[in-house]
Amino acid sequence: MKPTDFSVHMTSFLTHYLAAQRNLSPNTIKAYRDVFTLLLRFCRDGHGIALERLSLAHIDAPLVEAFLDHLGKDRHASIRTQNHRLAVLHAFFRYVQSDVPERMLQCQQILAIPLQRHARQNVGYLSKEDLALILAQPDLRSREGRRDAVLLSVLYDTGARVQEVIDLSAGDVRLNSPAQVRLMGKGRKMRAVPLMDATVQLLRDHLRENSLDRPEHADHPLFQNRQGERFSRSGVRYVLQNYVQAVRSDHPGFTQPVSPHSLRHTKGMHLLQSGVSLEIIRDFLGHVDVKTTQIYARANLEMKRKALEKVADDTPLPKMPSWTQNKTLLEWLHSL
């Protein structure tokens, strides 16, 4: 059976365009692939289209809108998730329109489907006191506890995404001055991030204890699970949650949600509060655009606003006269 035009372009998009031309990471490509999996199931189960007969002509703007509606109503996907799915389809049809000019109108109708507006989430970051409580939890008398202490310290100190820390190898660490780690970020972009002295000492001990300071072990994972393999994202989350729960048991008032990404946000906020410019924070965290980094500035302003409101509530202000009592002013306004 002859392959359909949709199958040809989808395969080329996932295996060649995203990997070779866009240089996206394997995890990002998997996320794109998952969107197409959902779309294929929707076309098959919701519209009765046999997958071996699915063509570009079937996937028009009404079908994409129905797919998004299905995600929200049947799969209970959040607006943020629906927007991600739509952004993937936008990328695909932006790619298709240059290869299939006769489908340009159909592609542009899909590209015209707007992302939904949603409320901005507050940046979840930890105070210095709460951060210190979590970092003090690992038991340094055990090998596993020492590993976890280094893992959490590196997560915070570098402001790295969890996948960036998972991908670290021993050779990515430089402890000679200036001490730094080399992170592979989104879009396969490499950046060097400086380390604090305390983290340098933890890493030096960690490398020595696990024989990772040998040149022949440069490609070994910096952090290994019990099987001697790289951590998974869920594995890092599990380690962190164990110590967060330990803090909660001793401090019942600590109810703030904490994830590995919270440590990244915490580093960004602490840098901003220390007077570091947004441009430097952008480069430190590996953001493509400073607009992404501005979430920390907005969160910081919101925090200051709430503090000022609290002070204002406690400060008795003199009662101001009402403009409605000024008859001359009212007569002038009514005459306009």
Which candidate in 189, 261, 291, 310 is catalytic? 261
Our CA angle for 258, 129, 312, nearest 5°, is 95
Which candidate in 70, 147, 161, 270 is catalytic? 161
Active site residue 58: no
Beta bridge partners of 221: 169
Active site residue 319: no
Nearest CA to 125 out of 263, 239, 238, 254 is that of 263
Which candidate in 174, 186, 191, 233 is catalytic? 186
CA–CA separation, 271 and 197 (whole Å):
16
Active site residue 287: yes
Which candidate in 264, 267, 270, 282 is catalytic? 264
| Ranges assigned E (strand) in the chain | 173-174, 180-184, 190-194
User: Going edge to edge, which strands form the sheet with 173-174?
Assistant: 173-174, 180-184, 190-194
For 250-288, b/e burial (b = at least 16 CB within 10 A) is eeeebeeebebebbbbbbbbbbbeeeeebeebbebbbbe
Residues designated catalytic:
161, 186, 261, 264, 287, 296
